[in-house]
Chain A
Amino acid sequence: EVQLVESGGGSVQPGGSLRLSCAASGFTFRTDWMHWVRQAPGKGLVWVSRINGDGSATYYADSVKGRLTISRDNAKNTLFLQMDSLRAEDTAVYFCVRGRGTHGDWEWRGQGTLVIVSS
């Protein structure tokens, strides 16, 4: 069974940093694209970033470019999101999502991890 377990969320002051992790199991992690999608409280889904299987290609939404960095450790089946220079508008639940090969066929298994940016 596919499992995606997000962790690392918490409260941080504006300008601070956090590192989110997503532990993956139940599939061949190293072959799949992985995404981060976020959802501010009471708001809609926002695509944040994605990374290919070997980590050589990364893409970001304009709103996070230069501040958030996606990476992965295929030896540990773990996806990361390094979050720097955090802003209040980064407050959201962050979901780790598996891309199942075809554009848009995404697997959502985790409940997300909540990041709160507030002074």
Chain B
Amino acid sequence: QTVVTQEPSFSVSPGGTVTLTCGLTFDSVSASYYPSWYQQPPGQAPRTLIYSTDTRSSGVPDRFSGSILGNKAALTITGAQADDESDYYCALYMGSGIWVFGGGTKLTVL
């Protein structure tokens, strides 16, 4: 059963802005879930973009930002570039030491 939900795919034009979301099937996402975002380019290992809702990881450009929008966590990419084309995963801390990833969003830049 899917617990953490993400859009399966999204597309954005070069230079455009896109917002990906991360929800829960049984609750609203809040900061207490420490929503985090990871980027995985094709054929590469993931890297951390955002953790604890809105903190950018070291070296991540400020084109990437995290927030809570309504009842979901959100990752916004502004000024999209060709090398932003990747899979994006959110992860939520469920408490009791457990983390759960969403199914990922495949972002196309075209």
Q: How would residues 22 to 37 of chain B score, 1 for a CB under 8 Å from any chain A CB and 0 otherwise?
A: 0000000000001110
Does B100 contact A47, Cβ atoms closer than 8 Å? Answer: yes
| Interface of chain B: mostly helix, strand, loop or mixed | strand
Tell me whether A85 is interfacial, beta carbon within 8 Å.
Answer: no
Tell me whether A111 is interfacial, beta carbon within 8 Å.
Answer: yes
Contacts of B52 in A (CB 8 A): 102-105
Contacts of B51 in A (CB 8 A): 102-106
Contacts of A107 in B (CB 8 A): 48
* Chain B interface bracket (under 10, 10 to 19, 20 to 34, 35 or more): 20 to 34
Shortest Cβ distance from B44 into A: residue? A111
Contacts of B35 in A (CB 8 A): 104
Of the candidates A59, A103, A105, A107, the one having the most CB atoms from chain B within 10 angstroms of its own CB is: A103
Does B103 contact A44, Cβ atoms closer than 8 Å? Answer: yes
Shortest Cβ distance from B99 into A: residue? A47
Does A59 contact B96, Cβ atoms closer than 8 Å? Answer: yes
Does A105 contact B48, Cβ atoms closer than 8 Å? Answer: yes
Contacts of B93 in A (CB 8 A): 103-104
Given A45-B89, A108-B46, A112-B45, are A103 and B101 also a contact pair (CB < 8 Å)?
A: no
Tell me whether A88 is interfacial, beta carbon within 8 Å.
Answer: no
Q: Which of B48, B101, B102 is close to A108, meaning CB atoms less than 8 Å apart? A: B48
Does A105 contact B45, Cβ atoms closer than 8 Å? Answer: no
Q: How many whole Å from B59's CB to the nearest CB in chain A?
A: 11
Tell me whether B47 is interfacial, beta carbon within 8 Å.
Answer: yes
Contacts of B91 in A (CB 8 A): 45, 47, 104
Given A44-B89, A45-B104, are A104 and B97 also a contact pair (CB < 8 Å)?
A: no
Q: How many whole Å from B12's CB to the nearest CB in chain A?
A: 20
Q: Which residues of A contact B (CB under 8 A)?
A: 35, 37, 44-47, 50, 57, 59, 61, 95, 102-112
